[in-house]
Amino acid sequence: MLRTIILKAGSNASIPSLSRQNKLLRFFATAGAVSRTSPGSIKKIFDDNSYWRNINGQDANNSKISQYLFKKNKTGLFKNPYLTSPDGLRKFSQVSLQQAQELLDKMRNDFSESGKLTYIMNLDRLSDTLCRVIDLCEFIRSTHPDDAFVRAAQDCHEQMFEFMNVLNTDVSLCNMLKSVLNNPEVSSKLSAEELKVGKILLDDFEKSGIYMNPDVREKFIQLSQEISLVGQEFINHTDYPGSNSVKIPCKDLDNSKVSTFLLKQLNKDVKGQNYKVPTFGYAAYALLKSCENEMVRKKLWTALHSCSDKQVKRLSHLIKLRAILANLMHKTSYAEYQLEGKMAKNPKDVQDFILTLMNNTIEKTANELKFIAELKAKDLKKPLTTNTDEILKLVRPWDRDYYTGKYFQLNPSNSPSAKEISYYFTLGNVIQGLSDLFQQIYGIRLEPAITDEGETWSPDVRRLNVISEEEGIIGIIYCDLFERNGKTSNPAHFTVCCSRQIYPSETDFSTIQVGENPDGTYFQLPVISLVCNFSPILIASKKSLCFLQLSEVETLFHEMGHAMHSMLGRTHMQNISGTRCATDFVELPSILMEHFAKDIRILTKIGKHYGTGETIQADMLQRFMKSTNFLQNCETYSQAKMAMLDQSFHDEKIISDIDNFDVVENYQALERRLKVLVDDQSNWCGRFGHLFGYGATYYSYLFDRTIASKIWYALFEDDPYSRKNGDKFKKHLLKWGGLKDPWKCIADVLECPMLEKGGSDAMEFIAQSHKS
């Protein structure tokens, strides 16, 4: 199968020093100058917007010297000359399709020994040609501010996706691949990477029902295409509540000890009998925190977490389509179909893993919620209880914010506020801190670069070159981190272009960016985009800063973990480079970075007050983190509930009773069975966007979280800046992309041979280890 994956596809010009004493990257890597930037330059391009506008040529008043030093060429998105307009995107798609067809024709007609020896490499090249369009379009659909570009991306994505699905069911391609792999005279001359990619592609061909009759193959293509379209429609509407407002009787709110200032900001209906509380903005959330009337909180919470009936129908349609596809492939469930080739090899092992986590966590979760139960029981004039089931039965999701606030009112904390802490963590401070961390543990740094005209989709986008101290530039990160209308609301790492070696007969480098290996050969630079929605705050006339709360620092570290995997997982073939690995392995490097983001030693090195430059005190951080981490087990259990919901929506009962399956009824029944913060009122499942991108594999987050915890304690707990252990993690895990079996990677990092083969015992070991 010619694969494309997204995580839920010239020359480089970089910032020159004022002395113009620049070091040019060799060959393709530049047509502009690159220099070591001065200390603090990363911080400045994110924290000083006037500096950024000036060096990036956006300031109409900048000096002639500056205009000369930072002269910009015209290009398209990501330095692809086609991508200057929506029509250019369509042209790029058509050219890529033509190149793919020409390569396909050559492969089908070349039966020579040379043709067989290069067959897998050509399959990889065919995949790269298509993926660079599909991944690009996936990114544009989610992020580009121009609707015309978004429409063009949707059209091109559909066209390419359909072409790829046709190839995935092409019997002649599969037969040729099988003959190459089964012929010792040929396979003995192939590299380990070629054999690995060949095996992966053969497995994916067979997963597409390659040997079924033509009608079945055609049905597979149709279903895959429809799942893609319905899924995209589903994901596009997960942010929207079911209604714009919820009516609350005035008498209920007026007698609920809610601030009169807040009530005055609410509109009323025509008769003046009901407040119309909007389901967007701060008002509803403020009421959840302050309203003593449980029925009002329940109504508000349900409205905030519900979606439209139309969205529920989209989800139901998506789930049923997947069940039909699985049944077509002779599988008992979509989960069984989807888990082939994953670390967790079957649904039973996944569900056992989740249940083990839940069993290990539920008592701790109930203990965390006990303070809410005590306060609520007192309000209801009920006797206090220490029984786990009684605690969980009493505490509902609409109680959490209200009673947490009440608890802290009754038990004032001397911990600093989130706002006070954020003043030490400007976006520039955090990016600079990440670069310093990567320099120490991996020997790589982030270096700001001037973008050419047309290279980015917004003037707020910053380009960072990833520089290895041994190899020079090894990749490119486009940072789209500031809030903007029309962007995806979810933080994301988009693979735009994978790393791979330059193919032997490749001569056109106009649409890619190229780096040089130490041995003088060349490779396609990995190009990724990090997308977040951080909010700048005006602190002075014409000056704004982006202050990150610690949760946002953690988010940025997480996404940078994906980025480092993309940069360092540099294989010869794109099918297994970077984050192109098993779904239940891909979150591991990013979740490991969350441990760094919570480490006091890291945070005190990064945190500098925006006004005074003072370093944040460890005691200040510890007090704040203690006050915000008191529901950690509750969060883990909630993630486990979502993972179990994902499994429930993709198990065998869907196929056996497809006409009667009700997604909301199933969701609410599962909530009641799992007990913690039970939601049997909303249809929140229709807003669970990961059901599309992570269908039957959402457990991956929890699974990788438990593994990341073990790796952190083994390698970095004693010294988070350890170069020795950073090199160990890079050598045994990051550098392999999807080439090496993930269980083997983990076994090598942890020096735990019993994990090498995976299986039920390994899954149980990982689940049990979460208790630590």
- Quote the CA–CA distance of 269 and 760 in Å, as a whole number: 58
Closest CA relative to residue 616, chosen from 417, 400, 424: 424
- Quote the CA–CA distance of 501 and 524 in Å, as a whole number: 6
At residue 615's C-alpha, the angle toward residues 610 and 617, to 5°, is 125
Question: 3-class secondary structure for 462-501?
Answer: EEEEEEECCCEEEEEEEEEEECCCCCCCCCEEEEEECCEE
Tell me the residue ranges of DSSP E strands in 429-562: 444-449, 462-468, 472-482, 492-497, 500-501, 514-516, 522-524, 527-534, 537-540, 543-545
Which three-class secondary structure state does DSSP give residue 680? coil
Helix axes 588-597, 699-711, angle to 10 degrees: 60
Concatenating the DSSP letter of every residue in 143-198 gives: H-S-HHHHHHHHHHHHHHHHHHHHHHT-HHHHHHHHHHHH-HHHHTTS-HHHHHHH
Closest CA relative to residue 104, chosen from 44, 164, 17, 54: 164
Please indicate if the annotation marks 572 as binding a ligand: no
Structure tokens at 326: 């699985």
Put the strands of the sheet holding 500-501 in their side by side order.
Answer: 500-501, 522-524, 514-516
Cite the DSSP H helix spans in 662-722: 663-674, 690-693, 699-711
Rg (the chain; Cα; Å): 27
Tell me the residue ranges of DSSP E strands in 563-648: none
- Quote the CA–CA distance of 46 and 430 in Å, as a whole number: 10
Please indicate if the annotation marks 558 as binding a ligand: yes
Say which of 336, 368, 455, 559 is annotated catalytic. 559
Which three-class secondary structure state does DSSP give residue 599? coil
User: Is 559 assigned a catalytic role?
Assistant: yes
Please indicate if the annotation marks 562 as binding a ligand: yes
Q: Which DSSP letter does residue 568 get?
A: H
Active site residues: 559
Q: Which residues line the annotated binding site?
A: 558, 562, 565
Q: Which residues line the annotated binding site for Zn(2+)?
A: 558, 562, 565
